[in-house]
Every structure is written in structure tokens, then in C-alpha cells.
């Protein structure tokens, strides 16, 4: 166990039992509330919408004639961050759907261990979409993989944890993909809401 995890575990164990019990009850109630997952996804999507104008400005620079040098627009490039936020929103919507689909399984999991169940402790957007039986076209599956890569590393870090993770770290550089990715995230939100 890392030093940080050990320190947190020790602090948890030193806390009064009543406080820990209250925290575990609130944790379980929040985790099992699909509306909280959807609200969080909505907040993140609104944040992505705030980044969108900067991305659109970047596109307008790139498509000027003649195009500017790559160095002159590099600092304006925010697509990775935009897709990272879309990936975070998609993840929350998919988790809302899973909580709606399997509330009893998650309740039992929490009764056994007050930790995030394995099915929710993941960034595997494709796996969650498959679990929710969301049918996607090939280009949507590809976009979901891109959003996952951006959420896991490409929107936050310059490099992945290992070279094999870099396959989907690049490759979404079109205005059309921006629109399709946002539409896909909204479709995932709709699916999570439909399960109510």
C-alpha cells in the first residue's frame, strides 16, 4: 500500500465510529443515486461547452488560407481537454445507467464492502456501454474509445502510463468529430435516463 493510502487509512481508523458510519451511509446513498451521476455528467458537459468556443477558434485559425504554422496555434489547441470533459460526462452517464440497471447488485456489493464496486470503479466506456446494451455504429465505438483515452490520460498528461495505451491518444481532429462526439455523449445520457 502506498504511503498516501496508508496515511488515509490510518486517519479513517482514528475517526470516531459514528462519523465513519455516517460517511459510509452517505457514500452508499450517493453512489446508488443515478440522478447524482447524471447531475455530475451534466455539470461536466456544461464545462465542456465553456471550452468549445476556444476549440472553434482554433479550427478557424487552422482553416485560414494559408494555414498558420503549427507552432503559432499549438497553444490554442484545446481539443484534448474538450474530449476529456466529454469522456468524463459519458462515464457519469454510463454509471448512472448501470446503477439504474443493477441497484440490488450494487446494494449487496456495498453491504459487503463500503467501497466503489468494481463495475463502477472503471473508465472502460465501451464495456459499460456494452453492459447497458447500447448499440453503436463503428464510428461511435471509435469515438467512445477516443473519449476514454482522453479521460484516462490524453486530456490530462503528455504521455500514457505505458506505450500500448497511446493507440487512441490522437486522431480526432475534425469539426465533424466534435459534433459527433457531443451527440454521442447526449445519446448516452438519454439511455441512462430511459432506464428509469
Residue 165, pLDDT above cutoff 80: no
pTM, rounded to two decimals: 0.84
What is the residue-averaged pLDDT of the chain?
84
| Overall average pLDDT of the 110-118 stretch | 78
Indicate the SS3 state at residue 82. helix
What pLDDT score was predicted for residue 31?
78
Indicate the pLDDT class of residue 5, thresholds 50, 70 and 90: confident
Distances (CA, A) of 111 to 18, 54, 99: 17, 45, 15
What pLDDT score was predicted for residue 65?
66
| Overall average pLDDT of the 172-177 stretch | 70
Crossing angle for the helix pair 34-62 and 175-194, nearest 10 degrees? Answer: 170
The lowest-confidence range among 52-56, 78-82, 141-145, 167-171 is 167-171
Indicate the pLDDT class of residue 87, thresholds 50, 70 and 90: very high
Greater model confidence, 47 or 122 = 47
The DSSP code sequence of 121-173 is S---HHHHHHHTT----HHHHHHHHHHHHIIIIITT-SS-SSGGGGGGSS---
Proportion of the chain in helix, strand, coil states, percent, rounded to 5: 75, 0, 25
Residue 71, pLDDT above cutoff 70: no
Amino acid at each position: 500500500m502506498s504511503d498516501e493510502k496508508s496515511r488515509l487509512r490510518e486517519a479513517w481508523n482514528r475517526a470516531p465510529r459514528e462519523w465513519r458510519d455516517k460517511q459510509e451511509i452517505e457514500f452508499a446513498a450517493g453512489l446508488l443515486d443515478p440522478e447524482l451521476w447524471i447531475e455530475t455528467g451534466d455539470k461536466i458537459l456544461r464545462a465542456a461547452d465553456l471550452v468549445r468556443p476556444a476549440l472553434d477558434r482554433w479550427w478557424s485559425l487552422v482553416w485560414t488560407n494559408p494555414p498558420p504554422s503549427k507552432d503559432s496555434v499549438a497553444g490554442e489547441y484545446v481539443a484534448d481537454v474538450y474530449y476529456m470533459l466529454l469522456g468524463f460526462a459519458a462515464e457519469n452517464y454510463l454509471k448512472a445507467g448501470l446503477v439504474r440497471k443493477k441497484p440490488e447488485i450494487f446494494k449487496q456489493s456495498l453491504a459487503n464492502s463500503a467501497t466503489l464496486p468494481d463495475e463502477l470503479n472503471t473508465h472502460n466506456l465501451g464495456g459499460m456501454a456494452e453492459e447497458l446494451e447500447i448499440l453503436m455504429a463503428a464510428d461511435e465505438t471509435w469515438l467512445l474509445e477516443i473519449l476514454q483515452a482522453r479521460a484516462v490520460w490524453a486530456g490530462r498528461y503528455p504521455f500514457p502510463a505505458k506505450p500500448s495505451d497511446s493507440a487512441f491518444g490522437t486522431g480526432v481532429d475534425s469539426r465533424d468529430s466534435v459534433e459527433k462526439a457531443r451527440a454521442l455523449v447526449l445519446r448516452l445520457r438519454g439511455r441512462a435516463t430511459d432506464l428509469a
